[in-house]
Structure 1
Amino acid sequence: MITVAVGSKNPNKVRGTELAFRLAGFRVRVISTEPPNDLSPEPIGLSEIINGAIKRARYAINVVSNAEFGVGIEAGIIKIEGFNEGVDVTIATVIDKDGKVTLGMSPGFMVPRRFMKEVLQGVELNEVVSRYYGEPNVGRKYGLIGALTRRFIDRVVLNTEAVYMALIPRMPWNAELFKD
């Protein structure tokens, strides 16, 4: 059994990590850590999302002394030029003790314009969504994707997919393809 440290206390991220590693054939014990405190509350742009995920993964593997992998999961919005809506994506990074980082991404979906207006003014998406749906802390439950799909897809699914994609280069049958 291997120990995996996740840079989040969000149950959706912890569960998604556990599911992804198990689907990839790993027997794991997942330990969640508080994330570093210098993360953007609402990452906008691909590089900010990726850097947040990497920061979370590095922090987690350094905090949990016996961890073989650190996982960082960061959801954020990609603003596409000429397109009024933003696209919400989840990016996961997996880092090992040698410092090798692998990336994965979930499917993306459009964020309603009415939500984007507030997000671009600095309001965290979770706050906007929770207020709109009248339910506190939707982001720690099923997320905007769960609300928009009537729970057909939720945050655990997106987190699982992103982490699984980040594990592809680490799967034994792919090792030769991703060698340095």
Structure 2
Amino acid sequence: MSTKTLAVASANPVKINAAEQALSRAFTDTHWQVNAQPVPSGVAEQPLSEAETRRGAEQRLQALMAQCPQADFFAAIEGGYDRIQGQPFTFAYIAISDGKRTQVGRTGTLPLPESIGQALEQGGELGPLMDQLFNDHNIKQKGGAIGVLTQHLVDRTGIYRDTLCLLLAPWLHPELFR
């Protein structure tokens, strides 16, 4: 079994675990040594559009690659918010790279209550708003809004991990993705 380094652009255990789980599933003959490195996104703390969220993930990835150039893989996850046909939703953009190839994709979307959408648009941040709504603490480092709003049918780690697994297709079939 070989050992490789995975740099993750966060100190959040949800994001770290998701990235490590995805790479461990994809590359079963590799032990992943994780280097958690919080880096700036260059966007608002709570991105309020799909474009800003994607830009945040891409900019985190670039900052991570500059900070940890020795890593074998790099992963950055940026959670965001937008309205789709008037309804508030949350989602994340994920960027992964091996330094040669980069893939960027979006998770599924989670509908949010109108009151949360309005609070986000007035400057709130999703994690604290969900803590307040559900009388909990640090939901974003647990199952996230995804977990509490789906009664834990889905959680943040799982949706991030599964999206990362999808993005790894070019590394799993390099002959098809030149």
TM-score (normalised: structure 2): 0.90
Checking the alignment, whether the CA contact within 8 Å between 1:58 and 1:70 is kept in structure 2 is no
State the identity as a percent.
Answer: 25
SS in 2 for 1:157: helix
Q: What residue in structure 2 maps to residue 144 of structure 1?
A: 145
1:23-66 residue CA offsets vs partner (Å, 9 max, x unmatched):
11252222111121633211122211111111111222222242
Counterpart of 2:79 (choices 66, 75, 79) is: 75
Q: 1:5: how far off?
A: 0.5
Q: Is the 8 A contact 2:41 2:60 kept in 1?
A: no
User: Residue in 2 aligned with 1:154?
Assistant: 155
Q: Which residue of 2 aligns with 1:36?
A: 40
In structure 2, runs of 5+ residues without a counterpart are none
Counterparts of 2:150 and 2:61, CA distance in 1: 29
1:113 is matched with which residue?
A: 114
CA contact (8 A) 1:93 1:102 kept: yes
2:91 partner SS: strand
**Structure 1: segments with no counterpart, 5+ residues:** none
Instruction: Judge conservation of contact 1:58–1:95 (CA < 8 Å) in 2.
Output: no
Q: Does 1:130 align with 2:134?
A: no
Please give the per-residue CA displacement for 1:112-156, whole angstroms capped at 9, x wherever unaligned.
111001001111111111111111221111101111122221110
Q: CA deviation at 1:96?
A: 2.5
**TM value normalised by structure 1:** 0.89
Letter in 1 for 2:89: V
CA distance in 1, matches of 2:79, 2:138: 15
Matched AA of 1:72: A
Q: Secondary structure at the match of 1:150?
A: coil
Equivalent position SS for 2:81: strand
Match of 2:65 in 1: 61
Question: Residues of 2 paired with 1:30 and 1:163: CA distance?
Answer: 15
The whole-number CA distance in structure 2 between the counterparts of 1:105 and 1:165 is 10
The CA RMSD over aligned residues, in Å, is 1.6
SS of equivalent residue, structure 2 residue 74: strand
Instruction: Identify which range, 127-136 or 9-18, moves more after superposition.
Output: 127-136
Match of 1:89 in 2: 91
